Amino acid sequence: MDILHALLEKLDAGLIVSCQPVPGGPMDNAACVVGFALAALASGAVGLRIESLAYVEAVRAVTDAPIIGIIKHDLDDYDVRITPTVAMARDLSAAGSAIVAFDATARVRPDSIGDILAAIHDSGSLAMADCADLEDARAALGAGADCIGSTLSGYVGQGPEPTLPDFELIAAMAGLGGFVIAEGRIRSPEQAAKALSMGANAVVVGSAITRTEHIVSWYRDAIDARKHDARDRARG
């Protein structure tokens, strides 16, 4: 087994923490991202998911832990935005990403999935396919992706954004036989453990750990709902 694929063994049955601050928020700076990363690793995380070249470089400078690197970039003519080009994939690998994640949905894209996979592998990194459904995952594995993630489930197409993890997709992806990384709306330890029980090899948790704005809003909304319920009962 080569060194890179041995990384997947390190990630197996482990927690990967996504250290992505709210864009433009008070924690959207390298010092905070590095702090999140080091705190996560000190607490038992086996890997990190980091967005942007600058933040991948900053985190790589302080740890040799596995980094899943991504670039989120909005394009005028395409809906794909997670590492959508060959050049971005190469840059992420050069910045220190042991694994480069990319949008593996069937949507129209500037560079083909095959070209992105080739760029990642030629640069010496592993490739994680961020998928929206089972067909994405099947196609990505067939094209040579090293691992598949449920990252984009619920974020492609029309309709309201779900609030719960897509456990059904995670289980179905596990049936394909690849290395499955559960990601997307995993907001409690119980949900993370359930994802593993459904067949995931590893679990990514982001907002519930590193996005203070989101966490505070969840508590605030629950408290506000409790206040409204109490007022309604008082009026009744």
d(CA 196, CA 203): 7
pLDDT score at 4: 74
Buried b (16+ CB within 10 A) or exposed e, 30-54: eebbbebbbebbeeebbbbbbbbbe
State the residue for tokens 């607490």. 43
- Residue 230: the pLDDT is 67
The residues pairing with 217 across neighbouring beta strands, listed in sequence order, are none
pLDDT of residue 236: 66
CATH class for the region spanning 3-235: alpha beta
What Cα–Cα distance (Å) separates residue 161 from each residue in 47, 75, 81, 221, 224?
27, 21, 17, 17, 21
Instruction: Going residue by residue through the chain, which has 236 residues, state the pLDDT in tens, using 9 for 90 and above.
Output: 587 779 999 999 999 999 999 999 999 999 999 999 999 999 999 999 999 999 999 999 999 999 999 999 999 999 999 999 999 999 999 999 999 999 999 999 999 999 999 999 999 999 999 999 999 999 999 999 999 999 999 999 878 889 999 999 999 999 999 999 999 999 999 999 999 999 999 999 999 999 999 999 999 999 999 877 767 777 76
Q: What is the C-alpha to C-alpha distance for residues 180 and 28, in angstroms, rounded to an integer?
A: 29
Under a CB-based contact definition with an 8 Å cutoff, are residues 101 and 128 in contact?
yes
Tell me the C-alpha distance between 226 and 43, whole Å. 33
Q: Where are the domains of the chain?
A: 3-235
